[in-house]
Structure 1
Amino acid sequence: MKFPEPLIEGSLIRRYKRFLADVRLPDSTEITAHCPNTGSMLGCQPPDGRVWLSRSNNPARKLPYTWELVETAPGTLACVNTARPNAQAREAIEAGRISELVGYSHCRPEVKYGEEKSRIDLLLSGHEAEPDAWVEVKNVTLEVNGQGFFPDAVTTRGQKHLRELMAQVALGDRAVLFFVVNHTGIETVRPADHIDQHYGQLLRQACDAGVEIVAYRANLANDDGSPSGRMALTEAVPVILEV
């Protein structure tokens, strides 16, 4: 997928109240942008860091700018807009780029399921040889020395999703935890036991119960580190569960 319009570069002043970010544009104008990320954004809000915004022409929007990308280190980009990963995953699956999930003819988003009243991100059906696949998508942007970690804050919601996925496996369907790696510096993905130990334990339990875990990285940057304008998932990333 591509951004519909060229992104606007700026300099981060601060993020606050979770959903707001003050940004200085190249002409020194200061604007407030929507920050579509409920997580801690650990490592993704460096002081005075380079950021890129999209702009909406919808006159009904209170904040026309949306924070999309941040440069976490020179030449390294991360996508902080957590509204993007579901679309990235769906596009890649429907294009046949996710080898683990080829062969499904139908993809439905936001389907209600489970005893804990969840909504699955993507429900795949219509495979000639495989059962339906319930796909939960997670955005990975926390990076330390090339390793990606999830989650970046304690997530009771994420823990619930793992329990729901295990229940679907017990019913005879496939269940897939899909890590969308929206950080160009991440080479592997691990559970963030140092942040949410219970999530890490549940993730390993889910794997043992038959939940499949995949991770694919987005091509956010050009060779010079500038934003490519594309967000396609093109490369599998190893998931490491060993403590």
Structure 2
Amino acid sequence: MEFSPQLKHGRLIKRYKRFLTDITLDDGTEITIHCANTGSMKNCLYPGETVWFSTSDNAKRKYPHTFELMQTDDGHFIGINTGRANALAEEAINNGLINELSGYDTLQREVKYGEENSRIDILLTSQDRPKCYIEVKSCTLLEDGIGYFPDAVTTRGQKHLRELMQMVQQGHRAVLMFVVQHSGISLVKPAEHIDSEYADLLKQAVEQGVEVLAYKTLMTPSTSKITAPCKVAV
């Protein structure tokens, strides 16, 4: 995924009202940018550190700039825009970078499924193979050298795990894929200390045949792309 033009930068002031972030540009100007992240963004936001943002040419947008990356003072990049995770996963699958998800004929996005009115992030199909339902999650929470998901209690994420288990019960393939958008993460675990119910459901899902994958993302102000597998411990 290329950022064209290359992202611009500023310094973080604060994030507030969930979807808004104030930053300071190099000339001292303060602007408000859109933050496309519904999580708590725990351990991702430190005032004064570098924010990288894109700019839309859509004149109808109230906030034309979007918070894309956070760069910490120790050099780590964090993918803030969780909407990018699905696109990164799709791009990597189409380019044959995810060995576990290769060999399918068709890729669809946002397909309705399940009994709880859900939409699967990615659906892979082939005539001679079971359907493959893929739920994509962005992992950015780093604590003591370990990446955790979720960073806040997620009833929506719990629902997705139940839906994936139902797909396995119906004879399909179901995959939970963590797109690791923090360059400091090399191991992903369920955040039992944040959402114990999600952690319990994930263990149950694995026992029932739901597959769990994690892939690291290389992030710079000009590009973002999935590069290599990351360890997972459920």
Structure 1-normalised TM-score?
A: 0.94
Q: Superposed, which structure 2 residues align to 1:1-243 within 5 Å?
A: 1-126=1-126, 128=128, 130-220=129-219, 227-241=220-234
CA distance in 2, matches of 1:73, 1:237: 24
Query: Would the alpha carbon gap of residues 57 and 13 (structure 1) be closer, same or farther in structure 2, given more than 3 Å must change?
Result: same
Aligned residues: 234
CA contact (8 A) 2:7 2:221 kept: no
CA distance in 1, matches of 2:198, 2:32: 34
- TM superposition shift of 1:4: 2.0
> Quick one: which amino acid aligns to residue 226 of structure 2?
L
**Contiguous gaps of at least 5 residues in structure 1:** 221-226
> Quick one: which amino acid aligns to residue 237 of structure 1?
C
Deviations 1:180-231 (A, max 9, x none): 00110000000000000010000000000000000001111xxxxxx25221
Query: Would the alpha carbon gap of residues 73 and 144 (structure 1) be closer, same or farther in structure 2, given more than 3 Å must change?
Result: farther
**Contiguous gaps of at least 5 residues in structure 2:** none
CA distance in 2, matches of 1:127, 1:238: 31
Task: Report the RMSD for the aligned CA atoms in angstroms.
Answer: 1.0
DSSP 3-state at the match of 2:57: coil
> Quick one: which amino acid aligns to residue 198 of structure 1?
E
CA contact (8 A) 1:138 1:178 kept: yes
DSSP 3-state at the match of 2:162: helix
Q: Give percent identity, aligned residues only.
A: 53
As a proportion of its length, which structure holds more strand? 2
DSSP 3-state at the match of 1:131: strand
DSSP 3-state at the match of 2:231: coil
- TM superposition shift of 1:127: 5.8
Structure 2-normalised TM-score?
A: 0.98
- TM superposition shift of 1:71: 1.7
